[in-house]
Amino acid sequence: MTSELKTAKLSRLNKEKLLHLYREMLVIREFEEQAQDLYSRTLIPGILHVSIGQEAVAVGVCAALGTSDYITSTHRGHGHCLAKGADVGRMFAELFGKVDGYCRGKGGSMHIANRDVGNLGANAIVGGSIPIATGAALSAKLRKTGQVVVCFFGDGALNQGVLFESMNFASIWKLPVIYACENNQYGEYTPLGRVTAGNILLRGQAFEIPSARADGMDVEAVYDATHQAVERARTGGGASFLIFETYRFSGHGMSDRDRPYRSREEEQEWCQNRDPITGLAERLMECGHATQAELDSIRDRVKHEVAAGVEFGTKAAFPDPDEVGKHVYAD
């Protein structure tokens, strides 16, 4: 039995789909840039981690899923939420701690969930969503719903024991779950190679889970790899392990401004030469799918949408004080 997935280009993406992916990445980028600005002006409480640079992973993965399929997310999860169908205004309301947010303002940046579209929630614990996704996949299998679950996690979770326990369980039960590692090269401030030994692809292969790497800065490559894994899972083939090589353009969190653990030359290579949005825009124009004016028009509409979302979140009300004990425990 081979445990390596082949991820050749599938060429399934037509003009309309590619333009949709371009727009979705722009929405995430604009959302995150606005969130950074709002946080810097102390309008967003708590802690904030943005996913600027990693948009292709969230969009490419979720584009291969259906509305009823599930995802679990991470502390850097705004992009996952948006790509899975979240409304920009309700997202900002949650970040502001307002009652119209997806968790009525109680989740904040790191704990947004949206069950209506299968988002089982972000999780601030490193690797914390891995067993949740595995359990959801077991539920889908037992209920015979045909649903697939994607578990997003970062390279910092690669050494968590719960990943190995979950992969073992998923392999034995042939669960419809995709373990999607966003390898952005750093676990907080530490380069991957300083804390993680060996070929990380072997973590999945050790459990006979088909595994593959894909360019996480190329939304088409992400979609192709995910599409194949989803088809396997949906037809009873079991789990997959996908590693998406990507990069966060900003620091780990809002306090990480100087980023002394990595060079400016490295950042320039990723941020200027491998930007996933710029790369797709260039391909769209090269193949005649869009002109610069058309792409500029999409960008303008996205900016308007996100600005309207900020306004919605700003005007929303805070929860009543008596809500503090509600929605905490099941009735």
In a domain, 205, yes or no: yes
The CA-based dihedral angle spanning residues 256, 195, 276, 66, taken in that order and rounded to the nearest 10 degrees:
-110
Order of strands across the sheet that contains 240-245: 70-72, 149-154, 177-183, 240-245, 211-215
DSSP lists the bridge partners of residue 153 as 181
In a domain, 174, yes or no: yes
pLDDT for 1:
34
Domain count, the chain: 1
pLDDT for 6:
53
- The average pLDDT across 121-145 equals 97
pLDDT for 4:
56
pLDDT for 296:
98
Q: In whole angstroms, give the CA distance from residue 175 to residue 65.
A: 16
CATH code of the domain in which 77 resides: 3.40.50.970
Q: Among residues of the chain, what percentage have pLDDT more than 70?
A: 96
Q: Flag whether pLDDT at 141 surpasses 80.
A: yes
In a domain, 6, yes or no: no
- The average pLDDT across 123-130 equals 96
What are the pLDDT digits (tens) for 244-265? 999 999 999 999 999 999 999 9
Which of 135-140's residues contact partners 24+ apart within 8 Å by CB, and which partners? 136/70, 136/72, 136/177, 137/70, 137/170, 137/175, 137/176, 137/177, 137/239, 138/169, 138/173, 138/175, 140/70, 140/176
What are the pLDDT digits (tens) for 8-39? 455 578 999 999 999 999 999 999 999 999 99
Secondary-structure percent of the chain, ordered helix, strand, coil, rounded to 5? 50, 10, 40
Place 176 in a pLDDT band, splitting at 50, 70 and 90: very high
Q: Flag whether pLDDT at 2 surpasses 90.
A: no
DSSP lists the bridge partners of residue 213 as 243
> Average model confidence (pLDDT) for the chain?
95
Give the range of the structural domain holding residue 180, as residue numbers without chain letter.
15-313
Question: For residue 220, which of 56, 72, 43 has the smallest C-alpha distance?
Answer: 56
Query: Beta strands 190-191 and 186-187: pairing type?
Result: antiparallel
In a domain, 7, yes or no: no
In a domain, 4, yes or no: no
- The average pLDDT across 150-161 equals 97
DSSP lists the bridge partners of residue 183 as 245
CA distances, 153 to each of 71, 141, 150 (Å): 11, 22, 10
CA distances, 308 to each of 34, 178, 303, 315 (Å): 12, 34, 9, 11
In a domain, 9, yes or no: no
Place 326 in a pLDDT band, splitting at 50, 70 and 90: confident
What are the pLDDT digits (tens) for 91-112? 999 999 999 999 999 999 999 9
The CA-based dihedral angle spanning residues 28, 128, 204, 178, taken in that order and rounded to the nearest 10 degrees:
-50
- The average pLDDT across 123-145 equals 97
pLDDT for 331:
72
Q: Flag whether pLDDT at 146 surpasses 60.
A: yes
pLDDT for 325:
86
In a domain, 84, yes or no: yes
In a domain, 245, yes or no: yes
